[in-house]
Structure 1
Amino acid sequence: MLEHPVSPIQIFPGFSCHHTISARILMQPHILILSLLLCLLCCSVPAQALEGPMDLDDIRFWAYQIQALTEPGAIDALAESSYDMLVLEPTRTDWSSDDRYFDTEGAIERLKQTPASDGVHRKLLIAYIDIGQAEDWRWYWTWSTDFTPGEPLPGDWPGYILEVDPDGWESNYVVKYWDPEWKDLVIWGVGEDPAQGRDWESIIDEVILSGFDGIYLDWVEGFENDKVMAAAQADGVDPAEEMITFIAEMREYAQERNPDFLIIQQNAAALLLGREHLVEYIDGIAQEHVFFDGIATDDWDEPQGYDTPTESDQSREYVEYLHMYLDLGIPVFNAEYALEHADEAYERSLAEGFVPFCSRRSLGELSDTPPPNLPE
């Protein structure tokens, strides 16, 4: 039997206690149990849980990926990154492939357990949704997909669909977003469908069910589309005000279910002109290609998918409009499609007070040109 004083750590590896106790005493059952309890209570330091996400105003680093999230390692890369905010495609709403079976809810829950850049807060998770266009691969598309651009729209399509996307994104179709049927799909709900394995009623319902902290609204710019403006005139409505009303309705619906739910507007910075009440319904704005752009492509390796300078007049206009948001207390994020020019894009963006992210047009991987000073 051991006679000399020893530390419990010598007998029970894994415990940390600085007191020395006679081994003979320590080995008495009741003393042994008490020693173990004391070490567990006093000597072990539990891992500190992460705090909730940062306020949007405090976000310094963000990333944007809306393709290939089902690829091996994609969620791992996002989890291992130190971005403060991630804007992601919900994925399981893509019913054109097996992506519909992707565990979006599980992925979001996992990402919520990973730290932001400060190591204190968790990441903020925002869902990308298109509110100004219908997409024929989504869960709600039950109509013909046999359509050739330039030909009349198929007769079985709903009347709120106006035209194919003018920027070259196939299978995306501009809509009359004030139409009640479209609003049902986006906000109010069309009912669950257990037979299809769908336990959500609308686009926003799915986002909330998956655990996202907010939504990132694409195609707010629809209010400036020629076909939309013509349809609005025919319906006797103001397309800009209808867009703001649409966003306000989304906010009200979502915040009834999650009071902290966030809304980030993408592009369409001119919507604020003469309509400052817009800022009552959004928490941030993100503008693409303020300085650098690329062609519309799903191919990450397409060389024309990045590093095309935005025309100087257009760039100046973006900056001017975005400063209007900053002046009203709305944080501004920008997505630049830059590879060789990433350093320039970051420098110019930060000088304007924006929070930049550089990637490639396909947004199919986590950026290989991350922001400067992003912790590893």
Structure 2
Amino acid sequence: MGISARRDSKAFAEYTYVIVKAIQNMKSESDNLQQPSLFPFFTVIFSIALVLISLLSQFWSKAEGQTVKSSIPWNSVNDFTYQLQDINLNTIEKTKFDLVIIDYSRDGSESGRFTAEEIEALKNSANGLKLVLAYVSIGEAEDYRWYWKKSWDVDKNGIPDKGAPSWLGLSNPNWPGNYKVKYWEPEWQAIVFGLPTSYLDKIIEAGFDGVYLDIIDAYEYWGPDGDSGKDRKTAEDEMVDFVVKISEYARSKNSDFGIFPQNGAPLGKHEEYLNAVTGIGQEDIYYGYNSDGEKTLKKITKELEGYLNVFKNAGKLVLTIDYPFSCSENKPCFNKKSKKKINNTYKKSRENGYIPYCTVRNLNYLTINPDNQPD
């Protein structure tokens, strides 16, 4: 598809998104006014709109000679959800979140990979179009992924055995089964992208709109004064280069493919890094930095906001993920104290021009926060 066609297709997606949102808002207003007589009217209008959108999409596809999938523009996102375990696509489809961050697999395994049909259904769910990101850890290897071999750490003591790949490091004591990786080594990068069997290529094949890259801050572990003790002076630049290469490769397949690193916000000082990403996700900015439910120290919040504003001022989306629940890492508890924390988080994040979300640390629950529901 030529540049003009891509531009027209994007405009079509934007118009579609606006139409659907407008109709949803009209129905919501009717609901709020409690006028039962209007319910069937808006239901019929909404159904007709979806049919028209489908027909127009098919016509557009034939006119351009390609399949053009419905989507929404990145800059229209104003809410999101983040869930990596116990994922139920049907449940997520029923929500109104604009952006969804999930694993590429229902249970992390290769056999549990979501199909292109499932992702397409999620993106075009009845409660509103959605952008969908696939989670990828690029700074640690996970022992339940398709690329892992049991022989790398037979006794599971967290220390790679003889014969393990040179890029494999020690396990993360806070997350058993996750191992640090020397992400600058070509063999690890080939697992992440560049081959038909690579992580990113599987994600693109499934139709995800982008990737959510985790353990970006691995450069701190390997770099000067890092916990690895290796004091690798080039660690930061190598992480920047890695993310830039991922972005370039993905966008050679899909020019609008989203790249969202999680944490590692100081890397925004690198112009090439800033240009390579669509946005950034930042954990623990208001709650959870030291402990779940505990307010993050003001000086840390202020420092993080300074880094994040670099992204915001460059026109990038800034997603904030906070953990205000001290009751459990698995299920939120909406008591008076936690609700106050949630409302405080959403207020501060939005005042800064960010997009907030509060959930549990294990990311195994589809959290919909009272008074801050997706629209």
- TM-score, with length taken from structure 1: 0.72
SS at match of 2:193: helix
Name the SS for the 1:286 alignment partner: strand
% of aligned pairs identical?
29
1:170 — aligned with what? 176
1:349 aligned partner: 349
* Aligned counterparts of 2:312 and 2:261: Cα–Cα separation in 1: 14
What residue is the counterpart of 2:39 in the other structure?
none
Query: Based on CA coordinates, which of the two structures has the bigger radius of gyration?
Result: 1
Matches within 5 A, 1:1-376: 47-49=51-53, 52-69=70-87, 74-91=88-105, 94-95=108-109, 100-114=111-125, 119=128, 122-144=129-151, 145-149=153-157, 152-166=159-173, 168-189=174-195, 200-226=196-222, 238-273=234-269, 275-293=270-288, 306-339=292-325, 340=338, 341-369=341-369, 372=372, 374-375=374-375
Report the RMSD for the aligned CA atoms in angstroms: 2.8
Query: Taking structure 1 as reference, are residues 342 and 147 closer, same or farther at Cα in structure 2, changes over 3 Å only?
Result: farther
Structure 1 residues 32-73: Cα deviation after superposition (integer angstroms, max 9, x where no partner):
xxxxxxxxxxxx95723278332222210111011111xxxx
Amino acid at match of 2:118: A
CA 1:286–1:314: 2 relative to 1, 3 Å: same
**Distance of 2:92 and 2:71 partners within structure 1:** 15
Q: Determine the C-alpha separation between the residues in 1 that align with 2:72 and 2:200.
A: 22
Deviation at 1:370, TM superposition (A): 5.7
Counterparts of 1:372 and 1:102 in 2: how far apart (Å)?
31
CA gap of 1:158–1:364, structure 2 versus 1, over 3 A, is: same
What per-residue deviation string (whole Å, max 9, x for no partner) do you get for residues 95-139 of structure 1? 3xxx724544332121022156xx4xx200110100111111000
Cα distance in 2 for residues equivalent to 1:267 and 1:257: 25
Deviations 1:303-358 (A, max 9, x none): x7x41222332222111111121122222111111241211111111111110011
Residue 277 of structure 1 aligns to a residue in which SS? helix
Residue 146 (structure 1) shift? 3.0
Distance in 2 between the 1:143 and 1:82 partners? 41
Whether the aligned pair in 2 keeps the contact of 1:129 and 1:215 (CA below 8 Å) is: yes
Per the TM alignment, residue 221 of structure 1 is displaced from its structure 2 partner at its CA by 0.5
Distance 1:231 1:127, change over 3 A: same
Structure 2 vs 1, CA of residues 288 and 160 (structure 1 numbering), >3 Å: closer, same or farther? Answer: same
Long gaps (5+) in structure 2: 1-46, 58-69, 326-337
Any conservation in 1 of the 2:224–2:231 contact (CA below 8 Å)?
A: no
Q: Any idea what SS the aligned residue of 1:77 has?
A: helix
Equivalent residues, number: 299
Q: Contact conserved, 1:294 with 1:361, CA < 8 A, in 2?
A: no
CA distance in 2, matches of 1:276, 1:255: 18
Q: Which has the higher helix share?
A: 2
Aligned partners of 1:228, 1:140: CA distance in 2, in Å?
30
1:228–1:128 CA distance, 2 compared to 1 (3 A):
farther
- Amino acid corresponding to residue 166 of structure 2 in structure 1: G
Contact 2:244 2:272 in 1 (8 A): no
Residue segments in structure 1 that go unaligned for 5+ positions in a row: 1-43, 190-199, 296-303
Would the aligned equivalents of 2:132 and 2:210 in 1 still touch at CA under 8 Å? yes
